[in-house]
Chains A and B, each alone.
Chain A
Amino acid sequence: MSDMAAKPNLSPSVQEAQGGRGSSPVPATEHGDHLHHDDHEHHDQHWLWKYVFSQDHKTIAKQFLITGMIWAILGGTLSSLFRLQLGWPEGSMQWLTPFLGKWIQAGKLNPEFYLALVTMHGTIMVFFVLTAGLSGTFSNFLIPLQVGARDMASGFMNMLSYWFFFLSSIVMFSSLFIETGPASAGWTIYPPLSALPQSIPGSGAGMTLWLVSMALFIVSQLLGGVNYVTTVINMRTRGMSMSKLPLTIWAFFLTAILGILSFPVLFSAALLLIFDRSFGTSFFLSDIYIAGQALSNQGGSPVLFQHLFWFLGHPEVYIVIMPAMGMVSEVLATNARKPIFGYRAMIGSLIGISLLSFVVWAHHMFVTGMNPFLGSVFMFLTLIIAVPSGVKVFNWLATLWRGNIRFTAAMLFSIGFVSLFIAGGLTGIILGNATLDIQMHNTYFVVAHFHLVMGSSAFFGLFAGVYHWFPKMFGRMMDEKLGYIHFWLTFVGVYLVFMPMHYVGIAGFPRRYYAWTGFDAFSQFADLNKFISIAAILAFFGQFIFIFNFFYSIFRGRRATQNPWNSTTLEWTTPVNPGHGNWPGEIPAVYRWPYDYSKPGSEVDFIPQNVPYSKTQSSNLPYEQDMAE
């Protein structure tokens, strides 16, 4: 159905515009006014430069996506392992010995390795999948295509961005196989635990690799981020003012700014931690007696590290969720066949969220011994974020209202995104309240909250993006039926996993516990924990339907048409398989905003951005009519 039989009778003008000026694909020899014809379109290009060390943003996007998918499978596998432990604390894991080797002792998972599992799961999912895999993929892919640029501002930096990420991945991956195990201090790597190998084996070489990997990752993020911002500011096509940008681009743009401003702070934290670990400084260490020895470090503060970490860490969750918000806005409008409701309010709320994201970090630290007055300030600022977030949700709902909804797989995941964002976002109102956080801090309530609001939601945004832009990426369609099955399995699965997790959290069960069995206060949920584990493992295996669909469709999927979703944005004016440079001819100019869906007076139910008002006399609003003349 994806092709939307409602193949509208395109008016000639629209048809022409859809293909861009001089729509028929230009033969390779005829570069004409193609401004960007390095050696890219020559067919004798070596595969190494075409597919591996490519500077084409589309190829780099696919590299990010596929690397991210590999990481996601690994991250999900790790979570299945620790869910096995939590679901069946008494069960034998002997059968896993071939995979985990010495980490299984007498059929039991090693508790320190359990911590390594949760640490690596968090690190992988937050940084490698939902930052690099999500924003790396779609910022790269969509920014040039949607603003009307031949490529990123610097293709070379863009290539470096991926290869730094790749290096970072290799380093992190190799840390899984070292003798003392990977980093185990939690993804937040709070010192002194992360600083002292005496305290946990994972803080030895594993932690060193973690820090090196993260430093490389930050370099990758900064190279990418500077590129995204520059491209959006400087390389928009004629007529593409900031107020005509699709919401995707606004989201990627603000995300990149957040990354540029906050990742360097994590870099500094990592650097100081490296100094504490290796060169005897005391930035984060003081008054420590460990392993039979009093350390000489004095005057440092572990709380300082938390401030530095969360100064990145909090914007980071918006770095994860904002690209998803942007893509969901786009997909909802396209498939509801309606303009996104409150375009300017959507931009305003994105900007509001971005600004606020920098002044709320200490809500992760209400009970760390920080001055309680600071707690009041951060509670105030944190809870304010509910307002712009609420505006976004209401606008999405209003976009669906009186729409004409086509349930593509992307649309399903977008609706799922809104649902999960509501479910997870609302509990933030509890956790942002310092008083209530006294009880809820570091419990499964927090785990449930952020897995819904930034974990699952961002994944849903990622899926929506992949299903929606797959035809542009690979020139073929993904199978819709498998997409439906994938969606319903995942949607139901996510709720079954994370809703009950709130109950466990309200009862106070702490996160990062190898077992709840030691405490009477937390031991009443054995059945529920088993239930959560089963749901989680099933939902995880459901993802292989997606993996299969993805790779199958790359090679055998149905061939895509140029604009399969009847969408208005510029990427659909390129040929089905755009070459390097994106448009064979001139880059189309932009005349209108990206959401002219179902405009009264228009024959078709969408008018692409590159159709001038002079060609749509019948549907122009009065002020648009002025522009047409």
Chain B
Amino acid sequence: MTALTIVLVLVLLLVVFGLLFRLQILTSIFSGTFTRDIGMSNSVNAILMLVFMVFGGAWFAYSFVENFNKMNPPIASVHGHEMERMFWTTMAVIGVAFLITQALLFIYSYKYQYKEGRRAYFFAHNNKIEVIWTVIPAIVMAALIFAGWKAWTRITGPAPKESVVVEVMGKQFNWLVRYPGRDMKLGVVNYRMIDAVNEFGFDLSDNAALDDFTTNEIHVPKGVPVLIKIRSRDVLHAVYMPHFRVQMYAVPGMPTRFWFTPTMTTDEMRAKLGNPGFNYELACNQVCGGSHFAMKATVIVDEPDDYQNWYAAQESFAKKNPEVLAALKQKPAATVSQVAEPAEAKEAAPSPLAASY
């Protein structure tokens, strides 16, 4: 009923509008103002072009400045600073192109509006000009491509050997986090072993998996390269950490990775921003279902010493869930994993945590 009423009101409004419009046309015909000449309206539109440029430009400048601080998330990674510089340099370049072309567009529109008796200038082509405005943008683009390519190669290149390793697994709708434990080796996981307890799918028949531990928050040390290994166990997700300028999809069946070096601890950033509630956040940035918008993890950057203490205090998954290990021992043959990463799985020589950096 409400729906019908609303639709009816809209239709009636349209009819009233139509009648008014018709009335206006009829009166203008009778009063003789219904002209077909290029007249007033042409110059009004020409002036509006200028007005739009001036006021639109002013509004844009104002709102840009007004929001500038809000739109710049604080940066907390080494490559983030580099990206930020490149971003604003590129913005400056395209900003210049934007200003020049838009200004010409509106100024020409105003300046060359129809004038009685004037004739447009017959100017069909000029190859020299075409070459100029092909070559100059090409050079600018070449520079941008080169800078982008160099940074891209560096950022996506292999992680340094001394990197700390964290693995993140996306699932509907939260992030699972695991660390390699004391042996610094991530054990084999197998999606067929996933259940309500073993959410990650640990294959405990692999020795390297025995000391792996899972956490709710992601802890990483400051000033040390961090390699995030990324998995998904159901649909696509994406690890997006805006403060670290990190983004990589989580793809079921295809582990991905991204490495970065945090530059500020959570506490330092809280102090800097004057916001004691601040936390680095990890957001899912590839649509993954109804609660996609709430798929979040917290990242905590610690001083290296704090990180080591925290790391040492964690209890392995196998220890926390002895029943998983027990179940495995009952039927060992069936559960030995056939999948993935045999090299990593085999050599499980324990090494002290401190040796890594």
Residues of A within 8 A of B (CB): 1-6, 95, 98-99, 110-112, 115, 185-186, 190-193, 196, 199-200, 285-290, 292, 294, 298-303, 336-339, 341-345, 367-369, 372, 375-376, 379-380, 383-384, 386-387, 390-391, 393-395, 397-398, 400-407, 412, 415, 418-419, 422-423, 426-427, 429-430, 433-436, 438-439, 441-443, 479-482, 484, 488, 491-492, 495, 499-500, 503-504, 506-508, 510, 512-516, 518-522, 524-525, 528, 544, 548, 552, 556, 595, 597-600, 605
Cα distance, A290 to B153, chains bound together (Å): 35
> Quick check: A383 and B86 within 8 Å, CB to CB?
no
Residues of chain B within 8 A of A193, CB atoms compared: 235-236, 287-289
Q: B311 in the interface, Cβ–Cβ < 8 Å? A: no
Residues of chain A within 8 A of B287, CB atoms compared: 115, 185-186, 190, 193, 512
Residue of B nearest to A100 (CB): B3
- Across the interface, A406 reaches (CB within 8 A) one of B22, B38, B157, namely B38
Cα distance, A404 to B1, chains bound together (Å): 55
Residues of chain A within 8 A of B236, CB atoms compared: 190, 192-193, 302
> Quick check: B71 and A504 within 8 Å, CB to CB?
yes
Cα distance, A599 to B120, chains bound together (Å): 9
Residues of B within 8 A of A (CB): 1-3, 6, 14, 17-18, 21-22, 25, 35-39, 41-42, 45-46, 48-49, 52, 56, 60, 63-64, 67, 70-73, 83, 86-87, 90-91, 93-94, 97-98, 101-102, 104-106, 108-109, 112-116, 118-126, 129-130, 133-134, 137-138, 141, 144-145, 148-149, 151-153, 155-157, 172, 191-192, 194, 196, 201, 230, 233-236, 238, 240, 242-243, 245-249, 251-254, 256, 277-279, 281, 283-294, 296
> Quick check: B286 and A289 within 8 Å, CB to CB?
no
Residue of B nearest to A504 (CB): B71
Residue of B nearest to A601 (CB): B122
Nearest-CB distance from B24 to chain A (Å)? 9
Closest 3 CB pairs of A and B: A286-B253, A508-B242, A372-B156
Q: A192-B236, A287-B233 are in contact. Are A513 and B83 (CB under 8 A)?
A: no
> Quick check: B290 and A200 within 8 Å, CB to CB?
yes
Q: A397-B104, A514-B292 are in contact. Are A507 and B71 (CB under 8 A)?
A: yes
Residue of B nearest to A371 (CB): B156
Residues of chain A within 8 A of B191, CB atoms compared: 287-289, 294
Nearest-CB distance from B290 to chain A (Å)? 4
Residues of chain A within 8 A of B122, CB atoms compared: 338-339, 597-600
Cα distance, A191 to B249, chains bound together (Å): 13
Residues of chain A within 8 A of B130, CB atoms compared: 342, 345, 391, 395
Q: A435-B83, A488-B48, A508-B73 are in contact. Are A481 and B292 (CB under 8 A)?
A: no
> Quick check: B105 and A521 within 8 Å, CB to CB?
no
Instruction: Please give 5 more A-B residue pairs, beta carbons under 8 A apart, in addition to A342-B125, A435-B148, A520-B277.
Output: A289-B201, A303-B254, A407-B41, A495-B60, A548-B21
Residues of chain A within 8 A of B115, CB atoms compared: 404
Residues of chain A within 8 A of B22, CB atoms compared: 556
> Quick check: A398 and B129 within 8 Å, CB to CB?
yes
Residue of A nearest to B17 (CB): A548
Nearest-CB distance from A604 to chain B (Å)? 11
> Quick check: A5 and B112 within 8 Å, CB to CB?
no
Cα distance, A561 to B247, chains bound together (Å): 59
> Quick check: A436 and B83 within 8 Å, CB to CB?
yes
Cα distance, A254 to B133, chains bound together (Å): 23
- Across the interface, B63 reaches (CB within 8 A) one of A339, A398, A500, A600, namely A500
> Quick check: A192 and B283 within 8 Å, CB to CB?
no
Residues of chain A within 8 A of B90, CB atoms compared: 429-430, 433, 436
Cα distance, A341 to B130, chains bound together (Å): 10
Cα distance, A76 to B84, chains bound together (Å): 35
Most chain-B Cβ atoms within 10 A of its Cβ — which of A289, A375, A479, A516? A289
> Quick check: B102 and A429 within 8 Å, CB to CB?
no
- Across the interface, B112 reaches (CB within 8 A) one of A301, A402, A595, namely A402
Nearest-CB distance from A254 to chain B (Å)? 19
Nearest-CB distance from A530 to chain B (Å)? 14
Residues of chain A within 8 A of B3, CB atoms compared: 98-99
Residue of A nearest to B60 (CB): A499
Residues of chain B within 8 A of A303, CB atoms compared: 251, 254
Residues of chain A within 8 A of B101, CB atoms compared: 393-394, 397, 422
Cα distance, A98 to B3, chains bound together (Å): 5
Residues of chain B within 8 A of A412, CB atoms compared: 45
Residues of chain A within 8 A of B2, CB atoms compared: 95, 98
Residues of chain B within 8 A of A289, CB atoms compared: 191-192, 194, 201, 233-234
- Across the interface, B37 reaches (CB within 8 A) one of A5, A344, A492, A506, namely A5
Residue of A nearest to B84 (CB): A439
Cα distance, A608 to B281, chains bound together (Å): 64
Residues of chain A within 8 A of B41, CB atoms compared: 1, 407, 480-481, 484
> Quick check: A598 and B144 within 8 Å, CB to CB?
no
Residues of chain A within 8 A of B148, CB atoms compared: 379, 383, 433-436
Cα distance, A369 to B257, chains bound together (Å): 8
Nearest-CB distance from B104 to chain A (Å)? 5
> Quick check: A379 and B18 within 8 Å, CB to CB?
no
> Quick check: A524 and B233 within 8 Å, CB to CB?
no
Nearest-CB distance from A592 to chain B (Å)? 12
Cα distance, A192 to B67, chains bound together (Å): 38
Residues of chain A within 8 A of B67, CB atoms compared: 500, 503, 525, 528
Residues of chain A within 8 A of B48, CB atoms compared: 488
Cα distance, A372 to B149, chains bound together (Å): 10
Cα distance, A298 to B126, chains bound together (Å): 59
Residues of chain A within 8 A of B105, CB atoms compared: 397, 400, 415, 418-419, 422
Residues of chain B within 8 A of A504, CB atoms compared: 71
Nearest-CB distance from B69 to chain A (Å)? 9
> Quick check: A339 and B112 within 8 Å, CB to CB?
no
In the complex, 25 of the A-B residue pairs with CB atoms within 8 angstroms, ordered by the A residue number, are A3-B36, A6-B38, A98-B6, A111-B292, A196-B235, A337-B119, A369-B251, A387-B134, A387-B141, A391-B134, A402-B112, A407-B46, A427-B94, A430-B94, A436-B83, A436-B87, A443-B285, A484-B45, A492-B52, A506-B72, A508-B283, A519-B281, A548-B14, A556-B22, A597-B120
